[in-house]
Amino acid sequence: MDNRVIKIDKNKKSLFIDKVKALLPEGGNLNMCLTCGACSSGCPATGFDDMDPRKFLRMAALGMDDQIIESNWPWFCTMCQRCIYVCPMKIDIPQLVFNARQLRPREDRPKGITASCDMALNNETLSAMGTSKEDFQFVVEDVLEEYREAQPEFADMEAPIDKEGAEFFINQNSREPMTEPDEMVPLWKILHLAGVNWTYGSKAWAGENYCLFLADNDGWKHITQTQTDQMHKLKCGTYLNTE
């Protein structure tokens, strides 16, 4: 049994909860929590850092800003929204988590996510691994040629890059072209067999948005805008996010 006592300063005003309520419609329904625990029962992050969605929500409602900043639990949350799905009051806990991440100075946020966000922002491909458009194109063409030769039934399979007018603009996980290039092929085969008109972009082909998970709004916007701009430049009809 955890016998630790949590002390609440009744005289300290919570800036965090007020900020979130101002952002969300109807204040995010945060005061409507029934403490039923449905959110925690379906949450993949329940138990990490001795925390779960219900406890996190109660800490926020009680104005425990300092404890929330110190907790690592908001960084375990995937923002999958299962908690909203099962919540009878439809409380937006993921939005609460997102804003909790912003309470930490950027330099104190998880190093891995920060580095991946910064790497994506610093290259035109948006690759979290820093892969250039030349390297990406080389890998795609090399792998495509290998599979065309090895599997005659896919001799006319394509993996186009910068094809104008394609119906689908498709992205790719940053890791796969550099470390697991064969993992790209199953998607190509599906698209080929389905007769889909698609393309990668030489720019903005990377599918992740680590800046979203870092709660870096400016970085998140830059990545999303760059992706959509490239799609429109190629006159594609639909942006298909494989991530």
Question: What is the number of domains present in the chain?
Answer: 2
Quick one: 83 and 136 in the same domain?
Answer: no
Write out pLDDT tens, residues 108-152: 999 999 999 999 999 999 999 999 999 999 999 999 999 999 999
- Single residue among 104, 129, 149 that ends a domain in this structure: 104
Does pTM top 0.85 for this prediction?
A: no
Write out pLDDT tens, residues 182-221: 999 999 999 999 999 999 999 999 999 999 999 999 999 9
Quick one: 65 and 118 in the same domain?
Answer: no
Quick one: 100 and 115 in the same domain?
Answer: no
CB contact set of 169 (below 8 Å; sequence gap of 6+)? 198, 199, 200, 201, 230, 231, 234, 236, 238, 239, 240
Quick one: 125 and 230 in the same domain?
Answer: yes
CA distance 135 to 195: 27
Quick one: 138 and 77 in the same domain?
Answer: no
Between 29 and 46, residue with greater pLDDT: 46
- pLDDT tier at 25, thresholds 50, 70, 90: low
Q: Provide the mean pLDDT of the chain.
A: 89
Residue 181 belongs to some domain of the structure: yes
CA distance 138 to 141: 5
Check pLDDT > 90 for residue 225.
yes
Question: Would you give the DSSP letter of residue 181?
Answer: G
- Single residue among 80, 104, 128 that ends a domain in this structure: 104
Long-range contacts of 50-59 (CB under 8 A, 24+ apart): 50/2, 51/76, 53/77, 53/83, 53/93, 56/93, 56/96, 56/97, 56/100, 57/30, 57/33, 57/91, 57/93, 57/96, 58/33
Residues, the chain = 243
Instruction: Kindly state the percentage of the chain with pLDDT values over 70.
Output: 88
Between 52 and 13, residue with greater pLDDT: 52
Q: What pLDDT sits at residue 95?
A: 85
Nearest to 177 by CA among 123, 129, 211: 129
Residue numbers of the domain that contains 65: 15-104
Report DSSP letters for 6-35, one per residue. Answer: PP--TTS--HHHHHHHHHSGGGGGGGG---
Quick one: 40 and 89 in the same domain?
Answer: yes
Residue 82 belongs to some domain of the structure: yes
Quick one: 123 and 235 in the same domain?
Answer: yes
Nearest to 121 by CA among 1, 227, 243, 3: 227
Residue 67 belongs to some domain of the structure: yes
Quick one: 68 and 126 in the same domain?
Answer: no
Distance from the Cα of residue 111 to its chain's centroid: 16
Lowest pLDDT segment from 61-65, 154-158, 211-215: 61-65
Residue 135 belongs to some domain of the structure: yes
- Single residue among 45, 78, 104 that ends a domain in this structure: 104
Quick one: 215 and 115 in the same domain?
Answer: yes
- pLDDT tier at 20, thresholds 50, 70, 90: low
Quick one: 215 and 158 in the same domain?
Answer: yes
Quick one: 136 and 178 in the same domain?
Answer: yes
- pLDDT tier at 28, thresholds 50, 70, 90: low
Quick one: 126 and 199 in the same domain?
Answer: yes
Contact in structure between 237 and 196 (CB atoms under 8 Å): no
